[in-house]
């Protein structure tokens, strides 16, 4: 019996010691006082694209994919309500884009020049360049998995200051109006270009999934995936018949005050 | 450091892009008759050329006519079609409003010049096109031709631009223009703003005439390096499919003609535009634009009986640029130095057709030659070189024949 008690005492004191040591870590890496808040200033790369989800059958294959630009910086304020749970909100500037070269079949599209317009179904190669520059406001519920690892999820709201969506079609033909319309050959000796930049939405929103790793005392490494739930084109814009969702991954470093 | 980040992220991006797999290839939405042909044991008995048994159908066309020798009594023939892969062909029974499946090789009754209707349904089932197929004897016509341009012009089915439908010609429509190509680049143009349009009450006889104007193709034309469109009117057909790719190939020059023309005459006025430009849009100071008026007779089949179809390169004598140059047998062309410019009066032109080859009457009457007649407001317009605003008015054109 005595043995048992003494063993219990030993175990108790040992675990108390471990918890104390763990508490030290949470304090060392966390905000002082565990439920305080603070500022994070971050900069990172953005990679990704704008894609229909799911990819429509009109897009047969992607021949090339090339990110254009891709930078984000901003500041967040975070506040921990408990040792594990908190909220983080900020303002992030972003400049992101991509270029794709895809084989398409019977792809609905239009070509605009001034007040002249041609619309129809294209079969051939479509090269698209998209860039988006603007401000994003993420509001994220965070969970501290361990002293050094944070994950979070929450909505983001993006305001597009400038967006471009342009490209060219080549190596194929357009059926004017619909698939029964007259065929117009468009080949690489005379490609045709299009520009839907003026048709883009200036506001969209979605969900951000993020993580942060406290690499040094004041330095975080972070990553995030922004999954937009609204299309870059309004529903009234019929030339691109499916919704195009921005999907971007970010990775970078942050300074934690 | 930066590079490693990007490389580390690439798989993520790839996963994003391909997370949703590409679905099955969609069924074809097109429903064209691409080629159509009839079978007859001795084609030469029924047709002037064996190539007349096969017709490659331009995408915009739905009226298919096989043209036989003048005196052929057509009854029934096996018919074959090549349609968009997956598409299905039906006979349209107008009386009972029924669709009857058609199988290649089915014998079709073409007697009494009836137009047999077919409906092609696309593989995806969402679209269909109706075609009328007939077999008709060709019309030889009386030889001399006269075009007053007072009438027979109308808007196309969209109401975008004018086209001419002359009666009493062996091939109809006889006249073609580049207007369908201009519509692709300047869809906002009004009918009277097209390069080729009728002009009323200003003709040499106070009636109507044709006005050809070299026009700016606006931003879209510049994008495909086709900054201008010369006004043109020519005996032949315009293949819109090639309009943005190769405009010279789009102008199919000439119709079979079973007479021997010897002279082309008529009236014109010409006003050159202010600044001539080259294909890249650079001004060519000091150069004055000039029009072209010509008639070319060419043999329409090679020694093996294959069809010879001249295009916008018809005047090119270099066989590298015009592989069909050797088939030209006769030509009449206005001399650019003789063109009367900036006159408010009409000028008469009379151009004798000079033959470089002696034609046999039997060959001519066997429809072995085609005749192209061409008017354009910028002679080098086929290369997109000319002056915007150059205007050629044409009226009362006559073709005189020896037989």
Q: Is A64 on the interface with B (CB under 8 A)?
A: no
CA A44 to chain centre: 12
Lookup: tokens for B106: 């089915």
Strand locations in B20-138 (E): 33-38, 54-56, 63-68, 76-83, 88-93, 98-101, 107-109, 116-121, 128-137
Residue B256 · residue B237 · CB < 8 Å:
no
Interface test with A, best of B2, B184, B218 (most A CBs within 10 A): B184
B186 contacts on A by Cβ (under 8 Å): 116
Q: Which helix (H) or strand (E) holds A7?
A: helix A2-29
- Is residue A34 within 8 A of residue A27, CB to CB? The reply is yes
Mean pLDDT of B112-116: 91
The 10s digit of each residue's pLDDT in B323-335 is 999 999 999 999 9
Instruction: Identify the residue whose tokens are 């439920």.
Output: A35
Whether B128 sits inside 8 A of A180 (CB atoms) is yes
Q: Inter-chain contact B220–A113, Cβ cutoff 8 Å?
A: yes
Q: Which fold has domain B33-137?
A: Immunoglobulin-like (2.60.40)
Q: Hey, are the CB atoms on B13 and A113 less than 8 Å from each other? A: no
Task: Report the range of poorest mean pLDDT among A50-64, A84-98, A202-216, B225-239.
Answer: A50-64
Output phi, psi for B13, to 5 deg.
Answer: -60, -45
List B residues 17-56 in contact with A (Cβ-Cβ < 8 A): 17-18, 20-26, 28-31
In A139-198, the residues whose Cβ lies within 8 Å of chain B are: 173, 175-176, 178-187, 189-193
What homologous superfamily is domain B145-401 in, according to CATH?
BT2081, beta-jelly-roll domain (2.60.120.890)
* pTM for this prediction: 0.78
Which runs of E-coded beta strand occur in B279-357? 292-299, 328-333, 347-352, 354-355
Q: Cβ(A141)–Cβ(A109) under 8 Å?
A: no
Measured between alpha carbons, how far is B116 from B133 in angstroms, rounded to an integer? 5
Whether residue B186 and residue A116 make contact (CB cut-off 8 A), yes or no, is yes
Q: What is the ipTM score, two decimals? A: 0.84
pLDDT in tens, B35-72: 999 999 999 999 999 999 999 999 989 999 999 999 99
> Are A116 and B218 a contacting pair at CB < 8 A?
yes
A41 touches chain B (CB under 8 A): no
Gap between the Cα atoms of B248 and B310, Å rounded: 10
Distance of CA B211 to the CA centre of its chain: 19
Distance CA B174, CA B255 (A): 8
Size of the A and B interface in Cβ pairs below 8 Å: 128
Question: pLDDT (tens digit, 9 = 90+) per residue, A12-60?
Answer: 555 555 555 666 787 778 776 656 888 999 999 998 888 887 788 888 8
Q: Which two tokens stand for residue B207?
A: 């009636």
Contact B240 A190 (CB under 8 A): no
Q: Are B327 and B302 in contact (CB under 8 A)?
A: yes
pLDDT in tens, B151-195: 999 999 999 999 999 998 999 899 999 999 999 889 999 999 999
Taking the C-alpha atoms of residue B344 and residue B393, their distance in angstroms, rounded to an integer, is 11
Nearest-by-CA chain A residue for B128? A180
What is the sign of the dihedral through the CA atoms of A183, A187, A191 and A193? positive
Strands (DSSP E) along A83-202, which ranges? 85-113, 116-144, 149-176, 183-186, 192-195
pLDDT digit string, tens, across residues A69-125:
789 999 999 999 988 899 999 999 999 998 989 999 998 877 666 778 878 898 999
> Where do the domains of chain B lie?
33-137, 145-401
pLDDT of residue B17: 46
Mutate to test the interface with B, among A59, A119, A180 (most CBs of B within 10 A): A180
């Amino acid at each position: 019996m005595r043995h048992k008690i003494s063993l219990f005492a030993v175990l108790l004191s040992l675990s108390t010691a471990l918890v104390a040591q763990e508490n030290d870590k949470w304090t060392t890496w966390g905000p002082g006082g565990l439920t305080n808040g603070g500022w994070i200033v971050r900069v990172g790369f953005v990679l990704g694209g704008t894609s229909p989800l799911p990819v429509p059958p009109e897009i047969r294959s992607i021949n090339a994919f090339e990110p254009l630009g891709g930078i984000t910086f901003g500041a967040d304020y975070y506040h921990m309500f408990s040792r594990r749970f908190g909220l983080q909100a900020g303002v992030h500037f972003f400049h992101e884009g991509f270029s794709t070269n895809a084989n398409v079949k019977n792809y609905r599209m239009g070509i605009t020049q001034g007040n002249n317009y041609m619309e129809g179904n294209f079969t051939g190669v479509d090269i698209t360049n998209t860039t988006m520059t603007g401000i994003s406001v993420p509001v994220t519920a965070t969970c501290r998995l361990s002293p050094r690892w944070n994950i979070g999820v929450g909505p983001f709201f993006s305001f597009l200051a400038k967006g471009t969506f342009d490209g060219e079609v080549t190596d194929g033909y357009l059926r004017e109006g619909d698939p029964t319309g007259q065929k117009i050959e468009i080949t690489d000796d005379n490609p045709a270009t299009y520009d839907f930049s003026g048709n883009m939405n200036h506001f969209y929103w979605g969900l951000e999934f993020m993580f942060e790793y406290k690499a040094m005392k004041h330095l975080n490494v972070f990553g995030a995936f922004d999954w937009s739930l609204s299309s870059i084109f309004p529903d009234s814009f019929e030339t691109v018949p499916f919704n195009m969702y921005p999907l971007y991954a970010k990775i970078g470093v942050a300074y934690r005050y | 450091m930066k590079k490693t980040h990007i490389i580390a992220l690439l798989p993520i991006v790839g996963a994003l892009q391909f997370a949703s797999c590409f679905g099955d290839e969609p069924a074809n939405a097109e429903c064209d008759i691409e080629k159509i042909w009839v079978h007859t044991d001795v084609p030469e008995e029924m047709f002037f050329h064996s190539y007349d048994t096969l017709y490659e159908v331009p995408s915009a066309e739905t009226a298919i006519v096989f043209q036989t020798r003048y005196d052929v009594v057509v009854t029934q023939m096996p018919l074959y079609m090549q349609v968009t892969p997956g598409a299905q062909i039906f006979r349209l029974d107008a009386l009972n409003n029924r669709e009857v499946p058609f199988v290649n090789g089915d014998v079709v009754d073409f007697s009494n010049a009836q137009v047999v209707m077919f409906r092609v349904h696309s593989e995806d089932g969402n679209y269909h096109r109706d075609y009328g197929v007939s077999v008709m004897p060709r019309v030889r016509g009386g030889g001399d031709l006269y075009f007053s341009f007072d009438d027979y012009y109308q808007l196309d089915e969209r109401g975008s631009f004018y086209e001419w439908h002359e009666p009493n010609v062996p091939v109809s429509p006889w006249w073609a223009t580049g207007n369908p190509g201009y519509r692709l680049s300047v869809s906002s143009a009004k009918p009277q703003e097209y390069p080729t349009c009728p002009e009323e009450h200003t003709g040499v006889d106070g009636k109507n005439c044709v006005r050809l104007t070299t026009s700016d193709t606006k931003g879209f034309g510049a994008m495909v390096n086709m900054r201008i469109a010369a006004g043109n009117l020519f005996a032949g057909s315009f293949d819109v499919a090639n309009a943005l790719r190769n405009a010279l190939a789009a102008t199919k020059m000439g119709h079979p003609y079973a007479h021997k023309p010897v002279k082309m005459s008529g009236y014109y006025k010409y006003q050159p535009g202010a600044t001539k430009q080259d294909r890249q849009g650079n001004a060519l100071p000091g150069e004055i634009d000039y029009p072209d008026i010509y008639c070319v007779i060419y043999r329409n089949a090679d020694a093996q009986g294959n069809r010879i179809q001249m295009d916008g390169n018809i005047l090119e004598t270099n066989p590298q640029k015009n592989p069909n140059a050797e088939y030209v047998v006769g030509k009449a062309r206005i001399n650019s130095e003789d063109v009367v410019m900036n006159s408010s009066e009409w000028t008469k032109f009379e151009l004798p057709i000079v033959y470089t080859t002696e034609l046999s009457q039997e060959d001519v009457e066997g429809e072995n030659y085609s005749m192209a007649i061409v008017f354009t407001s910028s002679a080098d317009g086929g290369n997109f070189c000319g002056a915007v605003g150059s205007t050629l008015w044409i009226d009362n054109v006559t073709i005189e024949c020896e037989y």
